[in-house]
Chain A
Amino acid sequence: MEFLSYLISGISLGSVYAIIALGYTMVYGIAKMLNFAHGDVIMVGGYLSYYAMFSFGLPWFVALPASMIVCACIGMLIERLAYKPLRQAPSLAVLITAIGVSYFLQNSALLIFGANPKTYSNPFQSVNPDGSINAGISLFGGQLTITYVSIVTIISCIIIMLALNFFTSKTKMGKAMRACSEDKGAAQLMGINVNRTISITFAIGSALAAVAGVLLCSSYTLIQPTTGSMPGIRAFTAAVFGGIGSIPGAFLGGLLIGIIESLAKAYISTQLSNSIVFAVLIIVLLVRPAGLLGKYVPEKV
């Protein structure tokens, strides 16, 4: 029963990683760049929903779409101002810019929202008539509790996964994205606007980051300017683990990283959990350098 509870919290954590990793992997697949500012967009999404819910008193189902829309705009703005001028630049320059944007977002948040962590009360719970908080479903006579946050997280992850899969395989914009990721030049000659496609990719990735922000803050009930950086890095690990550029890969990588982390914390050591996650990553990459579902592309000589 204990194991089941750790497994469920691992799947829930992994679902958040998967949602974040989707953002990394889509941007990498299409723009061929690592957007290290992605983790900080999560934090921005968290703060936006925080103010929407606790300052303006909006319910979560209004606050969430609102912060998704604002984050999508911020994502497009970042792409337009920071990355688009570097479209022809070497990838190292883009990488450094992404790290710069990441620090810029973190420090702006520090300036605007302050360094003190804010309490983010979990919107996915109800208060019982006797004043106690009902945060989840009890099963097996109270031996196993599944929190509503976990349920919402896992369900959102599945919905997002299915929707994205449909979007990229069945709609014209999604197909245009896949075309751009394969051959930008040929896509342009088909009349596909590559800049617009990249912009939309950033918008979708950043909107997903906002969802991850709300879910993450709801389960940790805390938000601060560095909230996004560590989950961002773990999700990046998850994307590489599953094979960067692959959408099912990001999903699988996220889930596995979440489960490994949760089980490592429970059975081995809380302090060593990070080391264990990264050790597993190293072993997987030694065996499959392109990640679990990634395709190995031999370089043409």
Chain B
Amino acid sequence: MGKVKSVNDSPLVPLPTNAFVPERDLLKTPILETRHLGIDFGGLKAVEDFNLIIGRTEIAGLIGPNGAGKTTIFNLLTKVYQPTRGTILFDGYDTHEMDTVALNKAGVARTFQNIRLFNNLTVEDNVKLGLHNDIKYGMVPGILRLPSYWKEEKRSHEKAMELLSIFNMEGMASWQAGSLPYGAQRRLEIIRALATDPKLLLLDEPAAGMNPSETAELMENIVAIRDRFQIAVLLIEHDMNLVMSICEGIAVLNFGKLIAKGTPEQIQANPVVIEAYLGKKHGEEA
């Protein structure tokens, strides 16, 4: 691996030699880099010395036993929680001054472990809320229905429909989000996150509660989304089949500490991982 040079506008961030990213992302600034990231809740060090690098078009997995701090890391990456220590570099820029909204505008989007759609709004309106910062008309043209209102609403409608078509959900556009079947709600959350035009998509247990055929379809869709939008995906998942088949890099978290990152083969063969995660001592977690 060795020293690399930035090929885009972002400031140069040399990759540490031990960082694992896919071959094709090596010469580009990583989309995400955390350095010694940590957060305390009272006396508890929930996440400690967390160093992770994710390539620009990588599908990465974050796995670990329950309570290891995976969702906490998502909350740190989206600034729902403020880190106690350490730095998060997004696209090469320090995010120290950014809040949740600023990070979203910069290109971080996420879904939730327990689905958090706007249940009383329609499917289309949920997607349009993701497009919120992309729709350009003010309050007054909105109330008076000036031409800019119609133009922008038409454009956002078309865009929302195009996004919904990724999961073949155009037919459900006028449904209430809360009345969708469970699997469709999960897919809508991904579409809503995609609508914010992210560079990094964080998926918190996207396959939770799905049956094997739905999971298989979801796996294809995640890869298709990455190929189409050329974005990075970081996902938390307990379904080892999903993680091992689509993730190029896997990070393993245990008790708030990153114990390994590598290819699926490396992770499966790593004795520390086996001990901490798959090992008999800690019971059957997955």
Q: Which residues of A contact B (CB under 8 A)?
A: 163, 166-167, 170-176, 178-179, 182-183, 185-194, 200
Known interface pairs A171-B149, A173-B142; A191-B120 also in contact (CB < 8 Å): no
Contact call A185/B118, Cβ cutoff below 8 A: no
Contact call B116/A190, Cβ cutoff below 8 A: no
Provide the residues of chain B in CB contact with A175, threshold 8 Å. 121, 125, 128-129, 132
For chain B residues 58-78, which have a beta carbon within 8 Å of chain A?
A: 78
Q: Please, what's the 1-or-0 string for B134-176, where 1 marks a CB less than 8 Å from any CB in chain A?
A: 0101010011000001000100100000000000000000000
For chain B residues 77-132, which have a beta carbon within 8 Å of chain A?
A: 78, 80, 100-101, 104-105, 109-110, 112, 116-121, 125, 128-130, 132
The docked-state distance in angstroms from the alpha carbon of A174 to that of B129 is 10
Q: Which of A167, A186, A190 has the most CB of B within 10 A?
A: A190
Q: Which residues of B contact A (CB under 8 A)?
A: 78, 80, 100-101, 104-105, 109-110, 112, 116-121, 125, 128-130, 132-133, 135, 137, 139, 142-143, 149, 153, 156, 192, 195-196
Identify A185's interface contact among B80, B119, B133, B139, CB under 8 A.
Answer: B80
Q: What's the dominant secondary structure at chain A's contact region?
A: helix
The docked-state distance in angstroms from the alpha carbon of A193 to that of B121 is 18
Known interface pairs A172-B137, A182-B118; A192-B142 also in contact (CB < 8 Å): no
A195: nearest chain-B partner, CB-CB = B101
Provide the residues of chain B in CB contact with A200, threshold 8 Å. 139
Provide the residues of chain B in CB contact with A163, threshold 8 Å. 143
The docked-state distance in angstroms from the alpha carbon of A188 to that of B149 is 23
Q: How many A-B residue pairs have CB under 8 A?
A: 75
Distance (Å) between the CB of A191 and the closest chain B CB? Answer: 4
Contact call B129/A179, Cβ cutoff below 8 A: yes
Known interface pairs A175-B121, A183-B118; A189-B109 also in contact (CB < 8 Å): yes
The docked-state distance in angstroms from the alpha carbon of A214 to that of B82 is 47
Known interface pairs A171-B149, A182-B119, A182-B120; A187-B139 also in contact (CB < 8 Å): no
Known interface pairs A172-B128, A175-B128, A176-B132; A188-B121 also in contact (CB < 8 Å): no
Provide the residues of chain B in CB contact with A193, threshold 8 Å. 101
Contact call A188/B118, Cβ cutoff below 8 A: no
Identify B104's interface contact among A171, A183, A188, CB under 8 A.
Answer: A188
Known interface pairs A167-B143, A171-B142, A171-B143; A186-B132 also in contact (CB < 8 Å): no
A172: nearest chain-B partner, CB-CB = B135
Contact call B105/A190, Cβ cutoff below 8 A: no
